[in-house]
Chains A and B, each alone.
Chain A
Amino acid sequence: MQWTELVVFSILFLLVTVMGFIAARWQKGETLAHLDEWGLGGRKFGSWITWFLVGGDLYTAYTFVAVPALVFGAGATGFFALPYTVILYPIVFLPLVRLWSVARVHGYVTPADFVKGRYGSHWLALIIAITGIFATMPYIALQLVGLEAVLRSMGLNGSGILGHLPLFIAFVILALYTYQSGLRAPALIAFVKDILIYLVILVAIVYLPTKFGGWSEVFNDAQAKFDATPAKGDGILLNANNQLQYATLALGSALALFLYPHSLTGILASRGRNVIKRNMVALPAYSLVLGLLALLGYVAISAGTKPIVNQATGRADTNTIVPELFGHNFPSWFAGIAFAAIGIGALVPAAIMSIAAANLWTRNVYKEYIRKHATPAEEAQQAKIASLVVKFGAVAFIVFIDPQFSIDLQLIGGVIILQTLPAVAIALYTRWFHVWGLISGWVAGLGYGMYLLYQIPSADGKRPHFGGSALALDKLSLFGWHPFAGSTLQIYVGVVAIAVNLIVAAIVTVIARRAKVFNGTDQTDPSDYHVDEDSDRIKPVAAH
C-alpha cells in the first residue's frame, strides 16, 4: 500500500466531491427540474467553462492510460491520436455551430431531437438515440478501467469482488452528485481535472525523458525493444501495411467523435456560436498534451516499466503502464497528484456521458413512447434516475464481466456511432437523403461493420473475433467477391462501414424519391441554422 499517494489522492478526491455537490448552486437558474438546467447546465456556459468542460469530456482518463499503453505495446500506430485530434476541429467547426443554432431555436437537447425535428420521424430518432446510448455505455465502463488502473497502482489491488470496492465507492459518490447537480458538477470539476492534468504532463514530459538519457535514447530503446519482438506491426515508424489504417483510423475517429452524444452535450450547453468557434481554436491545446502523453509509452519502455497484474482477472494490465511509470519515477506526493489527475479525469467524462445517455433515454424513448405528456419536471426526474441506472450498469459491466469486453464494445461503439453521420451531420446541410434511405444505410453500415469486426483476430492471435479495428483489405468481401484478394494493406473498419452506409442510403433515396414516398415534415427553417445568442428567435431556457 502506498500511503503518501493514497493520502494525496484522497484529499483531491474529497475536494472534487465537495465541488460536485455545491455545483448545484453554481450559476443557478430558476429551477433544476428541467433538462435545460440539469442536463445542459442552463445552456449558458461561456468560452472558458466550455473549454474545460469539452476538454475534460473528450480527453478522458481512458485516453490518458490507453493511448500511452498502445504506444508502449505497438509503437507508431498508437500515435494516431495526434492526427485524429488535429484534423478533428477543422472538420467539425462549421457543422457544430449550425447544430447549436438549430437546437437553440427549437430547444433540442439531444442529437436525436434534431433528427426528429428535421425528418419528423420518431423511428429515425429512436435508432439514433439507441445507437448513441449503446455507443456511450461501454465508454463509461472504460472510464472505470482508467480509474481502476490508478487505484490498483496505489496498492488497492485486491482480488475478487472485494477488489472492486474502492472503485464502487468512488462511483457511488460520483453518481450522487451528478444526480443532484447535473451537468454543472462535471463542468466545475473539469477545472480541477484539467489543471492537474496539464501540471502532471508538463512535469512528466520535461523530467522523465532527461532521467532516461533524453528523447534520442528513449526512441532508440523503443526501437530495440520492437526489433526484438516477433510481431510485425510494431516499431517506432509505420510500415507498408498499416499506413492506410493509420490515416483512416484518424479520419474515422475524427468524424465519429462529435457524433457521440456526450461530446454534443458540451456543445449544446454553451452560450453562443462564438463560444463554440473560439473553442475550436483553443481545444487543440489538449491535442498537444495528448501527443506528449502518447510518447510516455516510449519513456515507459526506457524506464523498464512492467504492467501490474490485475488481481481480479489474473492478467497483466497494460493500462497500468502510465500509473506505474509515475509511481516508480516521481516522488510519492507528486505521484499522488498524478494519480488524482487520472482518477478525476475519469469522473468528468463519466458524469457527462451518463447525463448524455440519460437525456437520450428521457427525450427520445421515455417521452416519445412511454409518457407522451411528461412535464419538464418529470423529464428531469426521469433523466436523473436514468443517469444512476447508466452508471451502475457500467460498474456492473466492469465488476461482473471481463473488462476486455468493454474494450471490445468500445471499439464497436466507434464504428456504430459513425453510422449516424448521414442522419445527424449531413442532415444539418441537406435533406437530400430520404428518411428510408437513412434508415437502410444505417442498417447496412451497422451490419456490414459488425460482420467485418467479427472477422478480425487480435494482434496476439489469442482471440479470433473482435480483436481490433484494422482490417486487411484481403478480407474485404461482398457476397463472396473479394475485390482486394491477397492485399495485406490494412484499413479502419469504420471508414468501410460508413462508405457502405452512404452508398445504400443514396440508392434507397433515389428509389424512394422515384416512388414518391413521403419524406416526413421538416420542422426547421433554413434561417434557424444561423441564429445566434442575441436573436429573439432563440427559445427561452427551461421554458416548456
Chain B
Amino acid sequence: MPSDRKANLRWSNWNLLLLVPLLMLITPWFNKDMPRLFGMPFFYWYQFAWVPVGVLCVLLVYVKTKDTPTTKGPDKLGVDELDEGAN
C-alpha cells in the first residue's frame, strides 16, 4: 500500500483548504434574520460571503501546488503491484 500511494497520489497539505467551504453547510450557524445588511437577512448575506471564501480556498490550492512537477515517463512499478494494496 505505501508504495502505490507514492506513485498514485501527489498529496499537499494545501489541499486540506478545499474542505473549508463545507463549513457553510452548518445551517444552525446562520439560520437567522438579524443582523441585516443592506436590508438582507443574515441568512442570505452570510452565504453570499462564502462565495469569495470558496474562491480563495481554491485559488490558494491552485497557486501553492502549481510547481509540483508532473510525471513525464511511465512508472516503473507494474500495473498489478499498483493496483490493489489490500489482499
In the complex, are the beta carbons of B75 and A526 less than 8 A apart? yes
Instruction: Tally A residues with Cβ within 8 Å of B.
Output: 52
CA distance A457 to B29 in the complex (A): 30
Q: Are B57 and A284 in contact (CB under 8 A)?
A: no
CB distance from A530 to the nearest CB of B (A): 5
B38 A215 Cβ-Cβ under 8 A: yes
Provide 23 A-B residue pairs closer than 8 Å at the C-beta atoms, listed in order of the A residue.
Answer: A79-B43, A86-B47, A86-B51, A86-B54, A87-B22, A87-B25, A93-B58, A93-B62, A216-B39, A218-B39, A236-B33, A236-B41, A237-B31, A237-B33, A238-B31, A243-B28, A250-B25, A288-B51, A432-B85, A519-B84, A522-B83, A525-B82, A527-B71
Q: Is the CB of B74 within 8 A of A513?
A: no
Decide: B43 and A284 in contact? CB cutoff 8 A.
no
Q: Which one, A244, A287, A531, contacts B71 given CB within 8 A?
A: A531
**A273, B71: Cα distance in complex, Å:** 13
In the complex, the chain B residue whose C-beta lies closest to that of A280 is: B58
Specify which chain B residues have a CB less than 8 angstroms from the CB of A393 in the assembled complex.
none
Given the complex of chains A and B, what is the CA–CA distance between A529 and B55 in angstroms? Answer: 24
Interface string of B26-65 (1 = CB under 8 A from A): 1110011100101111011001101100110111011000
A76-95 contacts to B (CB < 8 Å): 76, 79, 82-83, 86-87, 89-91, 93-94
Q: Does B13 contact A (CB under 8 A)?
A: no
Minimum CB distance partner of B75 in chain A: A527
CB <8 Å contact, A432 and B84: yes
**Per-position contact with B for A144-166: 1 when CB-CB < 8 Å, else 0?**
00000000000000000000000
Kindly provide the distance from the CB of B16 to the nearest chain A CB, expressed in whole angstroms: 11
When the two chains form their complex, are residues A89 and B54 in contact, meaning their CB atoms are under 8 A apart? yes
Write the chain B residue with the least CB distance to A105.
B74
Q: Given contacts A281-B58, A526-B8, are A90 and B41 in contact (CB under 8 A)?
A: no
CA A238 – CA B44 in complex, angstroms? 11
Check A238 against B27 for contact (C-beta < 8 Å): yes
A527 touches B43 (CB 8 A): no
A216–B77 touching, CB < 8 Å = no
A3 close to chain B: CB less than 8 A: no
Q: What mask results when residues 5 to 16 of chain B are scored 1 for a CB within 8 Å of chain A, else 0?
A: 001111000010
A403 at interface by CB-CB < 8 Å: no
Known: A236-B33, A247-B25, A432-B84. A89 touches B58 (CB 8 A): yes
B21 touches A90 (CB 8 A): yes
Give me 5 other A-B pairs in contact (C-beta within 8 A), A90-B17, A219-B40, A281-B58 excluded.
A86-B21, A87-B24, A288-B51, A291-B48, A513-B87
Known A94-B15, A219-B39; judge A251-B58 contact (CB<8 A): no
- Contact between B27 and A246, CB atoms less than 8 A apart: yes
